[in-house]
């Protein structure tokens, strides 16, 4: 596959979607290659149906391992429908979340364990990994406060989790970054959104100077 795969990760409320929307036109203006922007959970018809199932606040009795398997299942379908075809066509794929989300949220947050969650995802992704993962780091209290403000009353099933859950998610992300310092780069997301977007843009441009002029 000749394409370029970049993922964006971070706790809820870190502002990655906002930053992605801000940098997309900039990146497009700096390359002749096609860029597609997609997201997990979801991103394709079947994967979006699995997303609805996972995030539905009515599904309170969902087992933690069922949740982990559903995330891995939507990831597989999203890879087959969107990511792999685009990478085969030399495109640049920006994915709002990928496998590190499962390791952080289900492995760390739900305490299933990093190894267990990594192993079911190995089955789903068959070795396809991003060349770069941009990790938006933010204290859990700040992220949760932002969510409360933005979506009061419409938080999804995971956003409704307690502070300790979100702290475990963040700690697992930081652990993953330590284990994969070459692939996962940290952005300080606890600053003005314009500055966050600029930092992300600079990171990507510096990492791939031959792709973006």
Q: Where along the sequence are the contacts to ligand TMP (CB under 6 A)?
A: 12, 40-41, 71, 97, 101-102, 105-106, 158-159
Closest distance to ligand TMP from the beta carbon of 169 (Å): 8
Residue 118 or 211 having the CB closest to ligand TMP? 118
Hunting for tokens 């309170």 — which residue is that?
60
Least distance to ligand TMP, CB of residue 135, Å: 13
Nearest CB to ligand TMP, comparing residues 43 and 212: 43
> Minimum CB separation from ligand TMP for residue 213, in Å?
30
Question: What Å distances lie between residue 66 and 45, 54, 69, 110, 111, CA to CA?
Answer: 20, 9, 5, 12, 14
Q: Are 109 and 165 in contact (CB under 8 A)?
A: yes
Identify which of 189, 142, 201, 155 has the alpha carbon closest to the alpha carbon of residue 21: 201
Compare residues 51 and 185 and give the one whose CB is closer to ligand TMP. 51
Residue number of the CB atom closest to ligand TMP: 105
Least distance (Å) between residue 101 CB and ligand TMP: 3
Angle between helices 163-179 and 114-125 (to 10 degrees): 70
Rounded to whole angstroms, the maximal C-alpha distance in the chain is 50
Smallest gap from residue 195 Cβ to ligand TMP (A): 21
**Residue among 5 and 71 whose Cβ is closer to ligand TMP:** 71
Q: Name the region of 43 (left: φ>0; alpha: ψ -120 to 50; beta: rest).
A: left
Of 91 and 172, nearer to ligand TMP (C-beta) is 172
Angle between helices 64-78 and 45-55 (to 10 degrees): 160
């Amino acid at each position: 596959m000749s394409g370029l795969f970049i993922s964006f990760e971070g706790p809820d409320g870190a502002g990655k979607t906002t930053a992605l929307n801000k940098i997309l036109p900039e990146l497009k203006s700096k390359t002749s290659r096609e860029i597609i922007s997609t997201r997990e959970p979801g991103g394709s018809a079947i994967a979006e149906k699995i997303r609805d199932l996972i995030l539905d606040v009515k599904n309170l009795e969902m087992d933690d391992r069922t949740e982990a398997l559903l995330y891995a299942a939507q990831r597989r379908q999203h890879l087959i429908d969107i990511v792999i075809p685009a990478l085969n066509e030399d495109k640049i794929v920006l994915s709002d979340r990928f496998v590190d989300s499962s390791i952080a949220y289900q492995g760390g947050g739900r305490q299933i364990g990093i190894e267990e969650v990594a192993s079911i995802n190995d089955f789903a992704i068959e070795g396809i990994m991003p060349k770069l993962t941009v990790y938006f780091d933010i204290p859990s209290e700040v992220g949760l406060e932002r969510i409360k403000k933005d979506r009061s009353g419409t938080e999804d099933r995971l956003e409704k989790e307690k502070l300790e859950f979100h702290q475990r998610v963040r700690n697992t992300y930081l652990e993953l970054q330590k284990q994969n310092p070459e692939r996962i780069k940290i952005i300080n997301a606890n600053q003005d959104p314009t500055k966050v977007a600029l930092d992300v843009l600079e990171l990507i441009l510096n990492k791939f100077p031959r792709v973006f002029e």
